[in-house]
Structure 1
Amino acid sequence: MRISILLPDLRGGGAERVFVNLANELVVRGYHIDFVLLNTVGELLCDLDSEINVVDLCANRIRNAISPLAKYLGAESPDILIAAMWPLTVVSYISAKLACFKGKVIFSEHSTLSIALRRKGFVSRIALSWSIRYLYRYADAIHVVSSGVRADLFELGLPARLSPKVIYNPVYTPRKVQTRSTELKLPVVLNVGALKEAKNQELLIRSFSRVIKQVPAELIIYGEGEMRGRLEQVISELGLQDYVRMPGFLGNISEGYATANLFVLSSDWEGFGNVIVEAMAHGVPVVSTNCKSGPSEILNNGEYGVLVPVNDEKLLAEAIVKELKERKFDSSLLIRRASDFSVDKICSQFVDLFQKLVS
């Protein structure tokens, strides 16, 4: 079976990492995989299995991908096209119609769109609502990464008769958890994610200024993005240069988790929260904002980690201090929970979906 995955590029975003993990496992299981990219850029390109084919649509804007995608679908005729995230879902619908595509199309949503689109213009919000209400019914299947994202689509107008399939994100779990270094002078609080508005690392930094007044600790934030300048400014204003480090993107993130005593997610919104599972897979306890969507599902409403209200600096600081002092969650419990999201288990759920579509 031939599966094509449509993405903007392979920069280090959560959805991109998800599909790289999924595609590499599908190749092992004998599937032929094409990554169809608007532009062939991104550090995750080097993580693709050598058997995966990469197609460059050479589209500098999303609307410019319609024609080359239609040509690709007409020429190559994959069995299934997965369009990852609006508005590429709309692009895939138009291109498939133009190409008279006979394969199956899956729309895949990875974010809580109602929150993400609040910051967009009026036209974008109308286009999103209209396409979900009137175009998503034409997909052969709709995949979402959490029950929260599923509920959000219905709130945005998805017809009630449609039934999006919830398949959580596949996350690689280490075969052996690295032992934390005993040479570290201070407990390490870790955050991993793009430096962008949705991740709200500014909240974490401001909360951390409260933490170090009660517990000696160091905050390390791995990732890159447009908010770096603003975050560096906040660190300087609060005098945290000796306590907060932002080393940038880390290729082998297991090295980062191996140094951590606690992982903190400070996001305003998510679709799932891959990094929470990654942390748990390394036996690292988690404090997370209870944002839409994903963290409460992964942590089972607080059974496997601490949930705090979104954008509450004081309560986030209190939760960090308490977990650093008490370490409530046992590593073996966290590792077992993380195994529920293993690449092998999640890939099998996708395979079931593919087989039902083409049978």
Structure 2
Amino acid sequence: MRQMTDCGTSRITFVLPDLSRGGAQRVALTLMNLSVRKGLAVTLLLVGDRRDELDDIDPEINVVRLGKNRLLRAVPELYRTLQRQKPDAIFSTIGYVNLALLFLRPFLTFDHRLVVREANLPSAIFAKAKVPTFTRTLYQSLYRRADFIFVTSEKMQQEFSDLQLARSEQLCLFYNPVDVDKILKNATGEAPFPNRGNTLKKVVLSGRMVEQKGFDRFVETLPDLSSELEFHFLGDGPQKEKLVQRVSQLGQSHRVKFHGQVSNPWAYYKAADIFAMPSRWEGMPNALLEALVCGLHCVATPESGGVEDIRKLMSKPEQLTIADFDKDFTASLNHLASKQGKTEDGIYLPQSFSLENAFTRFQQKIMS
């Protein structure tokens, strides 16, 4: 790899499909902003034609849009753009974009390092694929072209090895960077849902309302959950209307609130008592990490990605309950309903997820 450009500044191109508020995009954005602060020249190459913007992108980042509504149509222009830019390093964190870049790699004629991050467990990706065998074959043949593969949990690292998707020396355990200062700054101020004269404990569930997040199965358990709990859903998605209707059918609308997509979820976390994650699958759950920053007791399914890694690294692992869905999950929430509220100003996020730790590891792999 060419270590430095002629002007003495390393150049990194991040490739994303769009700037939506997905977890993988947020990880990439954090790394981009950190790279700029550390003096690197950063280009963001956006494949899609959506105009979603994240308001905290550093103005020093050079944003290039391909304006294509499908990745397949963007591949020729993606290749030409990279050939013109000739970055020292390329980074991607969305599975299908990873595959496209790895396919193109033998045709790129400049010296570079290519690092990809996998956002979800391979087993979950293959299970949801239209043609699982074909998808697995693509991973097995293309992922070996990467210089490094960032995996977000020990479980994911083990799956890559067991499924023979990569060589062991390619795999790098990389925990999501969490901006604790930013979260705490935005979490202060007036509570988004005041007590309104009641003493009910507030449970927050956050994420896109799709099958993966398990909100549909969670609402079915509402009649079995303690009357001492009320529930606040943050996010939008294709399941939202059905979820609202089902909550009404179950007679639970009086203690369930759908807030939609909010720009500052951390204020809700800080004002709540419990964070619940009934996901069917995850990679490394950003929302749960951020809830730990805000001092919440978290209840998550074992399928919620790297939760075992998180709990193992925590100084107070009792603040994260991992429970099978649905009986154990329900019992855990009911148990918390009877306990004292959360500790004020508690921060339970392990140090392994700090910005500095993440960037040091990122820089080692993408610049070495």
| TM-score, normalisation: structure 2 | 0.88
Q: Do the aligned partners of 1:281 and 1:339 also contact (CA within 8 Å) in 2?
A: no
CA distance in 1, matches of 2:167, 2:319: 32
Residue of 210, 217, 221 corresponding to 2:224: 210
* Mean Cα deviation higher: 259-268 or 46-55: 46-55
Q: Does 1:337 align with 2:349?
A: yes
The Cα of 1:52 is off from its aligned counterpart by 0.9
Q: Does 1:279 align with 2:291?
A: yes
Query: Letter of the aligned partner of 2:215 in structure 1?
Result: Q
Residue of 252, 257, 276 corresponding to 2:264: 252
Q: Do the aligned partners of 1:215 and 1:321 also contact (CA within 8 Å) in 2?
A: no
Task: For residues 154-187 of structure 1, give each alpha carbon's deviation from its aligned partner in whole angstroms, at most 9, with x where no partner exists.
Answer: 3333145444101111112134563785644332
CA distance in 2, matches of 1:32, 1:339: 27
Residues 44 and 156 of structure 1, relative CA distance in 2, 3 Å threshold: farther
Q: Do the aligned partners of 2:114 and 2:366 also contact (CA within 8 Å) in 1?
A: no
The Cα of 1:229 is off from its aligned counterpart by 2.3
CA distance in 2, matches of 1:287, 1:179: 25
The Cα of 1:296 is off from its aligned counterpart by 1.6
Residue of 237, 247, 253 corresponding to 1:235: 247
Paired positions, count: 349
Q: Does 1:37 align with 2:63?
A: no
Partner in structure 2 of residue 13 of structure 1: 22
The Cα of 1:290 is off from its aligned counterpart by 1.1
Task: For residues 127-180 of structure 1, give each alpha carbon's deviation from its aligned partner in whole angstroms, at most 9, with x where no partner exists.
Answer: 321122222121111111222222222333314544410111111213456378
Partner in structure 1 of residue 211 of structure 2: 197
The Cα of 1:345 is off from its aligned counterpart by 2.3
Task: For residues 240-284 of structure 1, give each alpha carbon's deviation from its aligned partner in whole angstroms, at most 9, with x where no partner exists.
Answer: 111111111110112111221100011011001111110010111
Residues 41 and 60 of structure 1, relative CA distance in 2, 3 Å threshold: closer
CA distance in 2, matches of 1:154, 1:273: 22
Task: For residues 185-228 of structure 1, give each alpha carbon's deviation from its aligned partner in whole angstroms, at most 9, with x where no partner exists.
Answer: 332100111111110012222223211xx332210010111111
Q: Does 1:22 align with 2:36?
A: no
Residues 236 and 336 of structure 1, relative CA distance in 2, 3 Å threshold: closer
Residues 317 and 179 of structure 1, relative CA distance in 2, 3 Å threshold: farther
The Cα of 1:292 is off from its aligned counterpart by 5.3
The Cα of 1:82 is off from its aligned counterpart by 0.9
Tell me, which stretches of 5 or more residues in structure 2 are unaligned? 1-9
Tell me, which stretches of 5 or more residues in structure 1 are unaligned? none
The Cα of 1:26 is off from its aligned counterpart by 1.4
* Mean Cα deviation higher: 258-267 or 34-43: 34-43
Q: Percent identity?
A: 25
SS in structure 1 at match of 2:284: coil
SS in structure 1 at match of 2:282: coil
Aligned runs of 1:79-98 on 2, under 5 Å? 79-98=88-107
Residues 328 and 254 of structure 1, relative CA distance in 2, 3 Å threshold: closer
Partner in structure 2 of residue 128 of structure 1: 135
Query: Letter of the aligned partner of 1:178 in structure 2?
Result: T
Query: Letter of the aligned partner of 1:210 in structure 2?
Result: D
Partner in structure 2 of residue 114 of structure 1: 123
Q: Does 1:46 align with 2:61?
A: no
Q: Does 1:324 align with 2:348?
A: no
Q: Does 1:178 align with 2:188?
A: yes
Q: Do the aligned partners of 1:3 and 1:32 also contact (CA within 8 Å) in 2?
A: yes
CA distance in 2, matches of 1:307, 1:336: 15
* Mean Cα deviation higher: 295-304 or 56-65: 295-304
Q: Do the aligned partners of 1:10 and 1:16 also contact (CA within 8 Å) in 2?
A: yes
Partner in structure 2 of residue 152 of structure 1: 159
Residues 341 and 12 of structure 1, relative CA distance in 2, 3 Å threshold: same
Residues 28 and 342 of structure 1, relative CA distance in 2, 3 Å threshold: same
Query: Letter of the aligned partner of 2:18 in structure 1?
Result: D
CA distance in 2, matches of 1:59, 1:151: 35
SS in structure 2 at match of 1:326: coil
The Cα of 1:12 is off from its aligned counterpart by 1.0
Q: Do the aligned partners of 2:48 and 2:71 also contact (CA within 8 Å) in 1?
A: no
Query: Letter of the aligned partner of 1:306 in structure 2?
Result: T
SS in structure 1 at match of 2:203: strand
CA distance in 2, matches of 1:327, 1:300: 24
The Cα of 1:36 is off from its aligned counterpart by 1.1
Q: Do the aligned partners of 1:132 and 1:153 also contact (CA within 8 Å) in 2?
A: no
| TM-score, normalisation: structure 1 | 0.90
